Chain A
Amino acid sequence: MNMRLRNTAVMLTVCLALASGCASNDGGSNNGTNTANSSNAGNTNKQETPSEPADPFGKYAEPVTITIGKWIDPAAEKTLPAGDTVENNQYTRFTEEKLNIKFDHVWQAQGDAYKQKLKLAIASNDIPDAMVVEYSDLVKLVEAGQLQDMTDVYKNYASPQIKEIYDSADGIGLEQATFDGKLMAIPNSQTLADSIYLMWIRQDWLDKLGLQPPKTVDDIAAVAKAFIDKDASGKGTAGLTGSKPLFEMNNSMGGLDPIFAAFHSYPLNWLKDSSGNIVFGGITQETKEALGKLRDMYAQGLIDKEFALRSDNLELVKAGTSGIFFAPWWMGYYPLPDSMKNDPAANWKPYLVPLDSEGKFNTHVQSPTSAFFVMKKGYKHPEALMKYINLQVAAETYADQEAVKLDPGVGLQNWPMRSATTYADNVERNSKAINDVISGAADVSTLNSSQKPLYEDWLRTKDNPEIDFGKWGPAFSYIVSGQELFKPMNKVFSLYYGQTKTMETKWANLLKMQNEAYTKIIMGSSDLDSFDDFVKNFKAQGGNEITKEVTEALNE
């Protein structure tokens, strides 16, 4: 007994030692092959470079391997045909076939886990060859000197199309990625439509009560009041939705941004005041006016009483008790189907309102860039990343003829490294192309492979969405709400989208202070003039310092 147990104990220890040993061997040999690969690739490069002119789509003679941390999108993963994986699918094969570039996933993660893995990789100085990072990480990487200078790569290898894309957003992305005159990353380029919030309203309620669609903030208040007083939903109608953050630069649903904008208040933008000084939009007099209006509306019960407490601020929309909210063009994807399932009579219509006193619609606009492609310092083929981006964009826009063989049903996030790199007005472009066909101005054959399914889905579902909400949603979003985006509007860019030194430590607190002060004013727990105290505190607790830094950055 005694002996037997002792043996067991010894065995167990040995097992443990062996197992952990195996694991470490594994890691070791992986690293080994990686370095072998990249050094091989390096050699071939040295032989080729002199004779080879810069070709944005040039195929490598020898395979080039890039290690990456892969952001997984579970929805895109589901669209893969049987047998394909995120590591081996039509997009990876296309990249290999056209460029001879392979991607080796050193790790994969989704959502917040991806961000955490990325931050750990940066902190432990163990980054893969290429990554997609957000601005704050880019700054860290540049400061730590971990990145490859991409200036020449961009100059020599960026395709004309890519350059056109950056031009469509006035090159703001490239500016952000430039540090001390060197381009340290290839910026992505997102569509600006995501930051333009339309007013969504229950058209069936308007019709029922014989009301006209509202145009100004006062109209909206009047309509909301009518909805509530006459209980349009029949189960206790609530007012406008609000959201905890009140306003956000992009893709936020149910916030109150357009009401601020109707007063020429852009609480997150950097603006020029009347005397030409740089000022933060959150402390302007216009913002105070807007808050005064919102405070009145809240006091009259026209804004959801519990907006600051809800974990899901669109719950009222989905439940069919709120009939007005502000949100981007893509509501057909979510949450309108939920609302329509709960209340089959629900008929949501988007309008580009409220208009300001001069009859114009104002909106903030997000930075055209939300993420950056970066390359690890010392990687032998920095241009491989640029070539890959060229190819991906050309394929997605069908500028590359061969891309028609790619099935558009397979989620785009299955490209090896993807961050939307597209025209700033991509939604409008698609919407116009399809609407032209519907109106008869153009022929169906002018639609590309991603637009055509939307057109066909629309014909099939426009009269009865309930047969397939999944198809109706995207088609409705592009075709119906996309049209609203053609209307004239005053797009207000922020003068500065970056991050200054002091922002790193103080900005989060200042924004929190801003949110608390605004929320209290709107909900009536402190009076409107407490706004002036907030402005004073904001300036004293770092606001002035940051404003100075931003001014300096803009003068450079």
Chain B
Amino acid sequence: MVRTRSFGSISADVCIYFLLGLVTLSTLYPLWYTVAVSFSDSSAVAGGFVTWWPVDFNLAAYHEIVSDHKFYKAFLVSIERVLLGTTISFVITLLMAYPLSKENSLFPGRNIIMWFLVVIMLFNSGLIPWYMTIKSYGMLDSIWALVLPYAVPVFNIILVINYFRGLPKELEEAGLVDGAGPWYLLLNIYLPLSVPVMATVTLFSIVFHWNAFFDGLILMNRPEHYPLQSYVQQLVVNINTTDISSEGLKSLSLLSNKTLNAAKIVVTMLPVLVIYPFLQRYFVHGITLGAVKE
């Protein structure tokens, strides 16, 4: 059936596409700008000549990154952090979500634990108590300070609980009749069925750990222990000249190298850009399935 569309509906579509196009452009442009800057001549960038395309195209910034051992070190710390952090969060999410998805009658005390989780999700203690807690556990300046404080991702756990609750009870009952224990049920029935939601929360975890920078600055005692984002943050914060004496001036010309900093940001973005497409197909699916509780 061919339907002729009225002029109004076509023009409405055009408007919508145009507006959405603008929104897309406004989110993509900063990224594109960063890429363009990273390939430009640094003086041209300082003069504000770069808008769409690189000016005096060159790879100097990338050459410098390749020879910067601090960047590599920070990269490795970040990889370590993401691997450890995501693994620990994955295990803990799974092990907490399964029992908590049961009814209070099956798991007495479940509601108390849930309340506890919601409270810690909504309120936090503030910077200094947080810092002192981590310090008194002796975790300062170690990779665990970046990983263990975020081991229990409450929001992710709630997503997974709701997802588990949405799965047919009959499956579990059938397993019970055949003599499966809770471990077997969790690992061989629930886990394979919840790939979408687990992929989603894993993606959350990866992105969170990859992007976190503040804790690295505060909790690490040596710049060489910084994860990548902390390292990059150090480079791109605005330099306040009123803080430096005239002898620190040399650092100004060094730090004001926007080209190099843009190149570092581009390199930093790459891993997440690469991972996203592989996990994204679960993403929308996972997040909405967990959202509605029957």
Contact = CB atoms under 8 A, between A and B. Distances in A.
Interface of A: 1-2, 5-6, 9, 12, 16, 19-20, 23-28, 72-76, 78, 106-113, 116-117, 120, 123-124, 126, 190-191, 193-194, 248-253, 311-312, 315-316, 318-320, 328-330, 333-335, 337-339, 341-342, 370, 411-413, 419-420, 427, 470, 473
B218 A120 contact: yes
Contacts of B140: 27
B46 A26 contact: no
Interface stretch (B18-26, B32-40, B117-125, B236-244): B236-244
B64 to A, nearest CB: 12
Contacts of A319: 47-49
Contact of A337 (B95, B247, B253): B253
B218 A124 contact: no
B96 to A, nearest CB: 13
A26 B138 contact: yes
A320 B49 CA distance: 11
B31 to A, nearest CB: 18
Nearest to B244: A251
Contacts of A74: 251, 254-255
Nearest to B128: A123
Contacts of A328: 246
A75 B250 contact: yes
A190 B247 CA distance: 10
B91 A20 contact: no
Contacts of A16: 88, 148
A26 B184 contact: no
Interface string B211-239: 00000011001110000001000100110
A193 B217 contact: no
A315 B46 contact: yes
Given A315-B46, A335-B46, A23 B138 contact: yes
Given A2-B184, A5-B183, 15 more contacts: A24-B138, A28-B138, A73-B248, A75-B251, A108-B222, A116-B218, A117-B217, A124-B131, A191-B245, A194-B245, A318-B48, A342-B43, A342-B47, A420-B245, A470-B253
Contact of A342 (B44, B223, B234, B248): B44
Interface in B116-174: 127-128, 131-132, 135, 137-142, 144, 148
Contacts of B42: 338
20 contacts: A1-B184, A16-B148, A24-B138, A74-B251, A74-B254, A75-B254, A107-B141, A107-B222, A113-B217, A120-B131, A124-B132, A191-B246, A249-B242, A252-B241, A312-B46, A315-B46, A318-B47, A337-B253, A342-B47, A412-B247
The 9 closest A-B pairs by CB, nearest first: A24-B138, A75-B251, A319-B47, A107-B221, A341-B43, A23-B142, A27-B138, A338-B46, A113-B217
A111 B237 contact: yes
Contacts of B234: 110-111, 113
A193 B222 CA distance: 34
B59 interface: no
B80 to A, nearest CB: 12
Contacts of B249: 330, 333-334
B251 A73 contact: yes
B91 A12 contact: yes
Residue from B137, B138, B254, B256 whose CB has the most chain A CB atoms within 10 Å = B138
Contact of A250 (B218, B221, B242, B248): B242
Nearest to A106: B221
B237 A112 contact: yes
Contacts of B144: 19-20, 23
Contacts, number: 153
A108 B223 CA distance: 7
B223 A109 contact: yes
A80 B91 CA distance: 45
A413 B91 CA distance: 46
B47 A116 contact: no
Contacts of B222: 107-108
Contact of A427 (B183, B242, B244, B246): B246
A249 B44 CA distance: 30
A34 B84 CA distance: 32
A508 to B, nearest CB: 15
A76 B218 CA distance: 22
B85 to A, nearest CB: 12
Given A111-B234, A252-B241, A337-B253, A20 B246 contact: no
B91 A9 contact: yes
Contacts of A2: 181, 183-184, 187
A72 B223 contact: yes
A210 B128 CA distance: 62
Nearest to B129: A124
Contacts of B187: 1-2, 5
B138 A116 contact: no
A38 B272 CA distance: 48
A430 to B, nearest CB: 11
Contacts of B217: 109, 113, 116-117
A249 B245 CA distance: 12
B252 interface: yes
Contacts of B221: 106-108
B218 A194 contact: no
A338 B47 contact: yes
Contacts of A312: 46, 48
Nearest to B253: A334
Contacts of A342: 43-44, 46-47, 49
Contacts of B127: 120
Contacts of A9: 91, 95
B83 to A, nearest CB: 13
A438 B49 CA distance: 39
Nearest to B95: A9
Contacts of B241: 251-253
Contact of B47 (A108, A315, A473): A315
B43 A190 contact: no
A427 B247 CA distance: 10
A30 B217 CA distance: 21
A341 B230 CA distance: 32
Interface string B104-122: 0000000000000000000
Contact of B246 (A6, A193, A470): A193
B196 to A, nearest CB: 22
Contacts of A191: 245-246
Given A73-B248, A108-B221, A318-B43, A20 B148 contact: yes
Contacts of A193: 246
A144 to B, nearest CB: 14
A126 B247 contact: no
A313 to B, nearest CB: 11
Given A9-B91, A124-B128, A24 B139 contact: yes
